[in-house]
Amino acid sequence: MSLMSKTAAFTGLDALRNLVSDSMAIDMGSEATIIVVRGRGVMVDEPSLVAVSTSTGEVLAIGLEAQQMYGREARDVTVIAPLLDGVVADFERTKVMLAHFVRQARSGISHFSRRAIMSVLSGITQVEQRALLNAAERAGIGRVCMIENGLAAALGAGVKIDDTRASAVVDIGGSTTSVAIVANGAMVHARTERIGSRDIDAAIIDHVRRHRGLAIGEQTAERLKLELVSATLPDNLAQEITIKGRDILTSSPGALEITAGEVYPVAHEVVRKIVEIISMTLAELPAEVAGDIYDRGIILTGGGAQLSGLDNYVRDQTRLPVRIADEPRYAIVRGLEQTFAEPLWLRRVIRCGPDHLLDFERDASALET
């Protein structure tokens, strides 16, 4: 029996336990980690990056601090993303990073977290799921359960868990795109592909190097994407910005002007592939589900949903209504958070062992009374 379970047996300590422990919703992605604490809102929203000493292996910085080093690391420092394509690629660094973020999210008087719900990709393997669970438990969270990110995004985008008709939710992250068809609080169909908004950055870096002879970093590519890239043909193709990097021929610092018209086809190839994933998923739906989607259209969530003109491009290609969820980057974590307020949802949507499920239901019921 866990320490928290033993503590719960002493009814006189129930109120104190609620004061000094946190219920967390954790969206841990390759691009960013977002943590919401029930009743306190978003407490962490930082890049999923870790700066490591190449000589000792020591973790030197995490999150925003590591991002500030990225591309300008000291010669004995490297910045890594311990999650790759939404799954754990480096367990030890993932554990350290999550523990750091959990400490940030906790209230000032809390020394532990009673429970957390995390999002996972559809189709994640048991090994990958266990790696995430172990990382969370070693971060000091008493009980951890999981919900597929497509279902969590749907709940966070306003889809009701008792809605009998189907809804289509497309979550576009940094390195993955997930298409989820949800009805009756369950996944009807799902597809996850390893492509996301970060692929636009990579395509821009490759294009500028090959065709303009300038090596640029990921931060410069990200700025280009935010300022110039559009999923639809830009109104002003001549709009330009100056980018700086290393000249390939001379190996000296260099700069050049680049226009919206030049980067549009580069980014559009990635956008086209994302929309192909959506179209292929829609083509696999049963007739009744397809009829619901025809009426309701598609909801876009995730950081990639904020790409300029993406909703219009998806609408044009699918001939369906398309809307972007409110605060699309937070759709998944908001959906996870909702399960704390609705104890009856837990058994229907959560992935975890029976003991943890009973604990979650008991805790949620107690908090509602």
Q: Write out pLDDT tens, residues 310-319.
A: 999 999 999 9
- 161 and 52: one domain? no
- 220 and 144: one domain? no
**pLDDT at res. 133:** 81
- 31 and 142: one domain? yes
In the chain, the number of structural domains is 3
> Which position has the higher pLDDT, 367 or 344?
344
Q: For the residues of 59-104, what is the DSSP string, one character each?
A: EEEETHHHHHHTTS--TTEEEE-SEETTEES-HHHHHHHHHHHHHH
The last residue of one of the domains, among 248, 266, 284, is 266
**pLDDT at res. 9:** 38
The DSSP call for residue 340 is H
- 174 and 280: one domain? yes
The last residue of one of the domains, among 266, 281, 309, is 266
| CATH code, 66 | 3.30.420.40
**pLDDT at res. 21:** 46
- 224 and 169: one domain? no
Q: Which two tokens stand for residue 7?
A: 């503590």
What's the domain range around 283?
Answer: 154-195+268-328
Q: State how far the Cα of 105 lies from the Cα of 108, in Å rounded to an integer.
A: 9
**pLDDT at res. 210:** 96
- 322 and 174: one domain? yes
> Which position has the higher pLDDT, 114 or 32?
32
Q: State how far the Cα of 72 lies from the Cα of 85, in Å rounded to an integer.
A: 24
- 68 and 145: one domain? yes
- 52 and 169: one domain? no
DSSP helix/strand/coil, 324 = strand
- 162 and 24: one domain? no
- 159 and 209: one domain? no
- 312 and 336: one domain? no
**pLDDT at res. 352:** 59
**pLDDT at res. 16:** 38
- 28 and 78: one domain? yes
**pLDDT at res. 348:** 59
| CATH code, 223 | 3.90.640.10
